[in-house]
Chains A and B, each alone.
Chain A
């Protein structure tokens, strides 16, 4: 809140005119008050254009996606043929039958898999960070989490490709398995490897936001619990986590958004095939390659020169945009719920 508005220095226009007269210079150039107005306009312009940049992004992406959306509506989201369609579009200029279902399934599967690892580990880590760790250890842990969130995705991809993928291949994929399912390559680049790598990319979001939310729970709650003879865990589970829950949810939502949008690392470790894992094969489904919406934009990027492929890729981008807008709004709602529950202002940590 600004100073003059708080102190009620609103002035009538005649007062303002009188001051303007006093401040403007004899040569008619801008006086100090003129400069004030000009500066305020310029600042307002940069704020408004920063806020409106997203509209420019959305408008352009949807404009480029329009040729496909106009011809196909949303049917391309439910069809299951991506790799073949992209190949076909290269030589057939009338071809518009894309099928992004495998990409949707791939995105959903890798993100869900990553959350199944990241949520328990992340919340556990946040409990240690905010409730039990002594200051020294807490600092080390916080540094590690911050470092993890700063590690570029391509390094996650590189480690995933040279450590996790060979591990998955050696541990789970036998020669017999490869011979039994010849329709998809089983080489370690898989849903499992993708989920594991993604899990550690999104953990920092869960940890940082959840720990912040738990710290914003008033100390008196904890004292009350301990005074009633509750164990440490019971105090945390019954008195700290419930008021912090919206914050934990917000962290999970942010982590989900990050997982859905990750392109490079998923292109490197999840396998380069738009494949729907065969659930009827049981655990083998986790060893099959998948491709996500975001990584398809990187991997099929050379198809930009073909109009239909360009439009299809922008349709994927539009899908990602819609998802990210929805998650942003969800996270916002969760944060404001946290604020009302803990009675304290907590800020987003990342």
Chain B
């Protein structure tokens, strides 16, 4: 074997160090998934999905995740409904109408960037303070009919705060999707005599649709994964406070105005750090949550692949 020069030894050493760090990152990622699977799968019986959480010191009696799972879905759907139109409007304006050199454009971009950097716990706390104002009492009437103050915690409040939290991320992805529409398509639209808005509506938005869907799915992931905002603004109750039979369709309004939980707050509550202390249930819920996040990720990747196939 030929002798290696010092430079080669050094090169090999540092490249090996890089490989080790990549291996560590891979191992930790795999470790988290495997830990969730190994400890969580035991909890996944049919009854885990069909019973609500029960306050109990005995873990076997602590119930399932029916209400938190529904809570995650309710919060994600209502949060997306709240954010969809404003973010799409902002994205269209930023991509199609704005002059990058203008001060106003730069101010809006800076505002969105700063908003994206605000920690979610600050949003949660801010939302709690804003929506506790009496004028917002209609969003959360669980204060017991007291007109001078609002309770400030409900699914509706949580959804609105989530909408503000995810807004900059959703706008960014939507704007990129709109900008990626080829110029030739726009020119064809104009050549056919379309006005600017009609061109956007008929040509740009349909071709940007997969990217807009990606933005929505990413937004769903952010909502489903957040704990701090939910803990502060949806309330710490593990079951739906709005109605006992919350799954009946006509109870939708009391449920939205009531408090509840999502998978994340259920995990927080059931972990050894919370009051529930049922780690088995926490792992079960964490496994379900992780599966949800992986599924959303895979969906985004799939859309991306479809787009690149189409583009070729």
Contacts and interface: CB of A to CB of B under 8 A. Distances in A.
Interface in A305-344: 310, 313-314, 317, 320-321, 324-325, 327-329, 331-332
A87 interface: no
A145 B28 CA distance: 10
How many chain A residues sit at the interface, stated as a range, is 35 or more
B228 interface: yes
A268 B273 contact: yes
Contact of B187 (A3, A262, A268, A297): A3
A71 interface: no
Contact of B22 (A52, A125, A332): A125
B216 interface: no
Summarize A's interface: helix, strand, loop or mixed: helix
B257 to A, nearest CB: 20
Given A36-B195, A43-B93, A231-B11, A128 B19 contact: yes
B41 to A, nearest CB: 15
Interface string B191-229: 000011110000000000000000000000100111110
A39 interface: yes
Contacts of B273: 157, 161, 267-268
Contact of A324 (B17, B21, B119, B126): B119
B81 interface: no
A22 B7 CA distance: 77
Contacts of A115: none
A36 B167 contact: no
A91 interface: no
A274 to B, nearest CB: 16
Interface string B272-312: 11000001001100100110011011000100000000000
A50 B86 contact: yes
Contacts of B125: 61, 297, 301, 313-314, 317
A329 B92 CA distance: 24
Interface residues of B, number: 100
A64 interface: yes
B187 to A, nearest CB: 7
B253 interface: no
A310 B232 CA distance: 13
Contacts of B42: none
A120 interface: yes
B261 to A, nearest CB: 12
Contacts of B29: 144-145, 147-148
A36 B195 CA distance: 8
A147 B112 contact: no
Contacts of A203: 25
Contacts of B65: none
A3 B97 CA distance: 9
A143 B227 CA distance: 23
Given A124-B18, A231-B7, A324 B227 contact: no
Contacts of A12: none
Contacts of B61: none
Contacts of A301: 125, 231-232
A133 B18 CA distance: 11
A54 B114 contact: yes
Contacts of A200: 25, 28
A11 interface: no
B125 to A, nearest CB: 5
Interface centre among B18, B93, B197 (most CB of A within 10 A): B18
B24 A141 contact: no
Contact of A152 (B22, B98, B197, B225): B225
Contact of A47 (B89, B121, B128): B89
Contacts of A141: 22, 25-26
Interface string A126-151: 01110011000000110111111011
B122 A317 contact: yes
A227 to B, nearest CB: 16
Nearest to B85: A46
Interface stretch (A98-106, A174-182, A232-240, A275-283): A232-240
B268 interface: yes
Contacts of A89: none
Interface in A153-167: 153-159, 161-163
Contacts of A124: 17-22
B21 A120 contact: yes
B26 A52 contact: no
Given A161-B272, A320-B118, 14 more contacts: A50-B115, A51-B107, A124-B19, A127-B18, A151-B32, A151-B293, A154-B286, A158-B286, A159-B36, A263-B119, A264-B264, A304-B128, A310-B129, A325-B114
24 contacts: A3-B190, A35-B197, A49-B86, A52-B111, A53-B164, A53-B167, A61-B125, A122-B21, A124-B21, A127-B18, A145-B29, A147-B29, A151-B290, A152-B289, A153-B228, A200-B28, A231-B11, A263-B119, A263-B228, A264-B227, A295-B121, A298-B232, A301-B231, A314-B129
10 closest Cβ pairs, A-B complex = A261-B119, A124-B21, A51-B108, A46-B89, A152-B225, A51-B111, A231-B11, A233-B11, A263-B121, A47-B93
Interface of B: 7-8, 10-12, 14-15, 17-22, 24-26, 28-30, 32-33, 35-36, 39, 85-87, 89-90, 92-94, 96-100, 104, 107-126, 128-130, 164, 167-168, 171, 176, 183, 186-187, 190, 195-198, 221, 224-228, 231-232, 264-265, 267-268, 271-273, 279, 282-283, 286, 289-290, 293-294, 296-297, 301
Interface of A: 1-5, 32-33, 35-36, 39-40, 42-55, 57, 60-61, 64, 120-125, 127-129, 132-133, 140-141, 143-148, 150-159, 161-163, 200, 203, 207, 231-234, 237, 254, 257, 260-264, 267-268, 294-295, 297-298, 301, 304, 310, 313-314, 317, 320-321, 324-325, 327-329, 331-332, 347
